Amino acid sequence: MKKIIGRKEKIAIPEWGLKEVTAKIDTGAYTSSIHCSFLEVKQEDGEEVLYIKVLDPSHKKYKDKLLCIRDFTQKKVRNSFGQEEVRYKVSTKVLMFGEEFEAEFTLTDRSKMRSPILLGRKLLNGRFIVDVQEINLSKKSKQ
């Protein structure tokens, strides 16, 4: 059964050490995205390895944790200004309503946006119905 979520929700990304980070629900975006304050690709033992830091140092949930990702791809996306850009895409587990599921995120600079995380249709489809009058229903369901 699909759960009802609001226009903003608190999510956790356990593998990255993030808990109760606000994510904006964006039914206009296909893929979810997350703000990256640091991103570097290195060659190690003949393979490319992606090193990232998510969120911004000014964000209260920022962990200053360098994440090492070996399984990633690149994807062409149209940004909020309508321009095409190539972004790195990674998969990780997301926790909402006490359930964990796999989600894909593109990595981008969202420092000028209010929300560091956007949840797009690919993550929402088949799981959630959006009620734009509500916020943080996943958090309220725990209480």
pLDDT in tens, 69-81: 999 999 998 877 8
Closest to 97 in 3D by CA, of 122, 129, 54 = 129
Number of C-beta neighbours around residue 115 at 10 A: 17
Residue 24, number of CB atoms within 10 A of its CB? 18
What is the value of pTM for the model shown?
0.92
Res. 110: pLDDT tops 70: yes
C-alpha dihedral (69, 53, 126, 25), degrees to nearest 10: -160
Under a CB-based contact definition with an 8 Å cutoff, are residues 70 and 45 in contact?
no
For the stretch 47-73, pLDDT in tens is 999 999 999 999 999 999 999 999 999
